């Protein structure tokens, strides 16, 4: 079984995006939000069958842990009320996808974060979504969208979410959204920077002493971290922290959203297979075909298949790690005999 | 001959740092800056002989392209006048080091940037330093120190510096300074993020059409870029840009400040040796000994020696590329028959 831990609903019906636009326009003009539009099951089915489901089958994976489009979370837009409405709309749409394709998709939710706002609404939305069958959440370390005004992820500001995650036994993927700072290209700089930044915060802090069962997935292959693994081992040492294997890597996992073979090979050379979850972020940041290989850049299964892994390690990366990090996914699979 | 393209004077006499403190205190209190202290040649000699020079010899390199301590540039402190004074003091100290050890060190200058300030003073300081024999400059893409308030490096805001660099035929290393944003650890996040960010800006823009002879060194192995080389090739394609080899890599170079063998191996697997300059950033960000190897993390010469390079490629990385990117260094070496 092959589980892709990182997929976003980037192909939702145009009405969904149009509603967001009108919601933000209403906010700016001080009007109440418009009513959410009717989207038929057939429209949802089509948007999935022609995209994620087709590619999943072509590439030979079985399941995707599926969440709302990351770049559209845009927590910096509107205010907390606007974020609450938008997160509910996005998560409800994910729930419908999962309802239509229960064997292929399982939900991860967007949180209604807002710059400077407390995380009560995020805790409530996480709880609501888990009751609907979701197995995790995406946590945005920078709801300001590139201005980085929130405290580090090790700050007590974030603890209410970590407490609820621990109680519900669900992990978070640390995932920023769009950048409204012109220096940061969203998928080319902001995403990767956020991954690197989060990892370094975990080295500096001592978050996992307070939350020994917390599990966080750092996407995009861990940002710059595996490439600079020596730097991070050395910085942990300079900061008088325990080795990374003890201090951070009991709780942190990387995905395989690294879009070329040498990068994936490096990832597995420095990070134990037990800490890497298969992911592609398909259909996502990089949609083209690599002229050097003739295959999609984001067809990461090809790279993982070609990596120097034992059969047992490949099972870890393709499914066992995901089932361990997302125990509610494991439970759902067991309940249907998988 | 082995040239380290990336060394900072991180071991300057305590009086130098004490003066900076009193300069900033005077600024805050509205007093004129104190007089710069006397530092003897012997003090400078000692600070270099016991540190950079000793390690350079132990590790078997011959020369270092030497600039003021990057983390202490702190362009966000004080105002432009304060930055002008501080840059002059730092660069004059580098000139003294070079004067005392002309065979081993050659200067690269700090620029008197200041958030929001025009770059006239930077242009003037660059010119002053080149007249003193400096061969390049460090350009800070984020003088705000982690708040990222300046425009992208492709913006016309930066053009006065690029014009002067072109006129003087000197390159810049893109190098941020300290972070005063608590989310970004300086050497663990801000440095690496800045490298990644700059590269993505060069993909988005078309800077090298305007400055075909401009040469920029992105340090720390290019941040996350080589690890995510497929992502960047794919994003260039999605943005309808020419291949990276045409669009960016005629003008951009990476150093080897990557502190473990797998990282260096990845670097040379994806980036042609003609675009990589040997560098260690010694004595710098990561000062300890790697328990896995028994050698200093930042002894990058060991990794380069062990990398799968031809003899010709190793000559490129160790000296020929540096002489090409820093033609004034080449000229100085030729003048003494090297």
Query: One digit per residue, pLDDT tens: chain B, 338 residues?
Result: 999 999 999 999 999 999 999 999 999 999 999 999 999 999 999 999 999 999 999 999 999 999 999 999 999 999 999 999 999 999 999 999 999 999 999 999 999 999 999 999 999 999 999 999 999 999 999 999 999 999 999 999 999 999 999 999 999 999 999 999 999 999 999 999 999 999 999 999 999 999 999 999 999 999 999 999 999 999 999 999 999 999 999 999 999 999 999 999 999 999 999 999 999 999 888 999 999 999 999 999 999 999 999 999 999 999 999 999 999 999 999 999 99
Searching chain A, which residue's CA lies closest to the CA of residue B228?
A258
Which residues of A are identified as catalytic? Answer: 281
Chain B interface includes A237 (CB < 8 A)? yes
CB contact under 8 Å between B262 and A260, yes or no, is no
With beta carbons under 8 A apart, name residues in chain A contacting B193: 189, 193, 196-197, 224
Out of A187, A203, A232, the one facing B235 most closely (by C-beta) is: A187
CB contact under 8 Å between A230 and B287, yes or no, is no
Nearest Cα neighbor of B77 from B123, B130, B17 is: B17
Active-site option among B281, B292, B313, B335: B281
Determine the angle formed by the axes of helices A191-204 and B191-204, rounding to 10 degrees.
180
Q: Is B246 exposed, middle or buried (0-12, 13-18, 19+ CB in 10 A)?
A: exposed
Chain B interface includes A183 (CB < 8 A)? yes
Other Cβ atoms less than 10 A from the Cβ of B314: the count is 17
pLDDT at A285: 86
Out of B196, B200, B262, the one facing A270 most closely (by C-beta) is: B262
Chain B interface includes A241 (CB < 8 A)? no
Searching chain A, which residue's CA lies closest to the CA of residue B224?
A224
Chain B interface includes A189 (CB < 8 A)? yes
With beta carbons under 8 A apart, name residues in chain B contacting A265: 266
**Distance from A33 to chain B by nearest Cα, in Å?**
33
Chain A interface includes B182 (CB < 8 A)? yes
Is the confidence metric ipTM above 0.90 for this complex? Answer: yes
Nearest Cα neighbor of B186 from B281, B301, B53, B88 is: B281
Q: What is the pLDDT of residues A89-116, one digit of tens each?
A: 999 999 999 999 999 999 999 999 999 9
* Direct distance between the N- and C-terminal alpha carbons of chain A, in angstroms, rounded to an integer: 9
- The residue ranges of chain A whose pLDDT is under 70 are none
Strand pairing class (A252-255; A276-277): parallel
With beta carbons under 8 A apart, name residues in chain B contacting A286: 230-231, 234-235, 238
Determine the angle formed by the axes of helices A120-131 and A159-168, rounding to 10 degrees.
20
Give the separation between CA B324 and CA B338, rounded to whole angstroms. 14
pLDDT at B284: 87
């Amino acid at each position: 079984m092959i589980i892709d831990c990182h997929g976003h609903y980037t192909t939702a019906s145009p009405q969904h995006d149009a509603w967001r636009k009108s919601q933000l326009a209403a906010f700016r003009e001080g009007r109440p939000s418009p009513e959410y539009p009717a989207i038929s099951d057939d429209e949802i089915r089509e948007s999935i069958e022609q995209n994620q489901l087709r590619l999943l089958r072509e590439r030979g994976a079985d399941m995707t842990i599926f969440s709302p489009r990351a770049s559209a979370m845009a927590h910096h837009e509107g205010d907390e009320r606007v974020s609450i409405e938008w997160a509910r709309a996005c998560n409800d749409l994910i729930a419908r996808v999962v309802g239509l394709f229960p064997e292929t998709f399982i939900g991860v939710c967007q949180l209604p974060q807002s710059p400077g706002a407390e995380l009560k609404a995020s805790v409530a939305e996480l709880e609501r979504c888990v009751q609907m069958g979701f197995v995790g959440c995406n946590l945005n370390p920078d709801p300001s969208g590139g201005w980085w005004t929130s405290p580090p992820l090790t700050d007590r500001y974030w603890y209410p979410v970590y407490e609820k995650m621990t109680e519900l036994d669900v992990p978070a993927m640390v995932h920023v959204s769009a950048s409204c700072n012109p220096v940061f290209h969203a998928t080319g700089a902001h995403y990767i920077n956020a991954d690197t930044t989060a990892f370094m915060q975990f080295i500096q802090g001592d978050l996992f002493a307070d939350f020994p069962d917390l599990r966080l997935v750092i996407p995009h292959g861990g940002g710059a971290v595996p490439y600079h693994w020596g730097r991070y081992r050395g910085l942990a040492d300079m900061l008088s922290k325990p080795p990374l294997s003890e201090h951070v890597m009991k709780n942190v996992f990387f995905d395989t959203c690294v879009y070329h073979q040498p990068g994936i090979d490096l990832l597995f050379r420095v990070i134990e297979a037990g800490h890497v979850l298969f992911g592609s972020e398909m259909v996502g940041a990089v949609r083209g075909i690599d002229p050097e290989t003739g295959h999609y850049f984001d067809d990461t299964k090809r790279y993982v298949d070609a990596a120097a892994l034992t059969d047992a390690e490949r099972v870890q990366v393709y499914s066992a790690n995901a089932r361990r990090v997302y125990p509610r996914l494991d439970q759902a699979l067991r309940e249907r005999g998988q």
